[in-house]
Amino acid sequence: MIPLWLVEETDAPRVVVAFLFGTNTVMCIFLPMAAARGVHDVTTALRAIRMSSTFFVVSCLITLATHDTVGWVTIALVWLGHVTVTGAELYLSAASWTFEAELMDPRQRGAYQGAAGLSSTLGKVWAPALYTFLAMSWGATGWLVIAAIIVVATVGVHPSTRLARRFIEEHVPADVLADARASSPDAEDGIAVGPPSLIATDEPVPDHSPAPDPIR
């Protein structure tokens, strides 16, 4: 959306689009772990959602102001707006991973992930189309509408997670949840649990190596 708007609605050089793609690629490679640090449960995931929403709204306001700029000011504002929207994406991804881990029935992970993949795919179709229409057709007002949509969605996530948590607590046995948490990489004070092994037993493994030749 932003590259198209940049080319059609601003006087920034076309080469800026390539620079923005490069910046986005570098940030998406090196910063996901930094954004995910500290996001380990639903509460911290909701905080990451609020951070993502803040970055996105700031990006909309910066881009809105860019309509009345020219030259290098346009380039600087577009780059700053693109950086903030990339930060929003990073925090959103970090929160999504935690929601998937904490709010799904461990017995139906495939069904949950399938539904999440379908909704994500649909969102990648309608959201860019709607946002591009608003940005290209409504101008500054369109960016305010986009920011309002993000704020409303952020507010709505909080009661949705409470409902999801209540559903899990009421319909999933406690021992199933305990087993799922015990097998997670964060179990046992952050010590990663290795993959299951077919030869892992409580008994010592016999040594079948050949005996050394006797000394003659």
**pLDDT at 12 (0 to 100):** 67
Could you please report the per-residue DSSP string of 89-121?
Answer: HHHHHHHHHHHHHHSS-GGGHHHHHHHHHHHHH
Measure the CA–CA gap between 199 and 184, rounded to whole angstroms.
Answer: 21
pLDDT value at 125 more than 50: yes
* pLDDT bucket at 199, cuts 50 / 70 / 90: very low
Measure the CA–CA gap between 94 and 127, rounded to whole angstroms.
Answer: 20
**pLDDT at 180 (0 to 100):** 62
Mean pLDDT of 30-39: 82
**Strongest mean pLDDT among 39-43, 142-146, 212-216:** 142-146
**pLDDT at 110 (0 to 100):** 81
* pLDDT bucket at 52, cuts 50 / 70 / 90: very high
- Domain spans of the chain, in order of start: 2-185
Mean pLDDT of 73-92: 82
* pLDDT bucket at 8, cuts 50 / 70 / 90: confident
Mean pLDDT of 129-147: 89
| CATH topology classification for 2-185 | Growth Hormone; Chain: A; (1.20.1250)
pTM here is 0.72
Could you please report the per-residue DSSP string of 1-70?
Answer: -HHHHHHHHS---THHHHHHHHHHHHHHHHSHHHHHTT--SHHHHHHHHHHHHHHHHHHHHHHHHHTT--
**pLDDT at 144 (0 to 100):** 93
The CA distances from residue 201 to 87, 121, 178, 196, in Å, are 46, 43, 22, 11
Measure the CA–CA gap between 102 and 172, rounded to whole angstroms.
Answer: 12
Low-confidence winner among 32-41, 67-76, 83-92, 198-207 (lowest mean pLDDT): 198-207
Contacts of 65 (CB under 8 A, 6+ apart): 77
**pLDDT at 204 (0 to 100):** 45
Measure the CA–CA gap between 77 and 141, rounded to whole angstroms.
Answer: 18
Q: Which two tokens stand for residue 155?
A: 């507010």
Q: pLDDT tens digits for 142-197?
A: 999 999 999 999 999 999 999 988 888 887 777 766 666 666 554 444 433 333 33
Length of the chain: 216
The CA distances from residue 174 to 31, 99, 113, 186, in Å, are 35, 18, 21, 18
Of the two residues 59 and 25, the one the predictor is more confident about is: 59
Look up tokens 């993959």; give the residue. Answer: 195
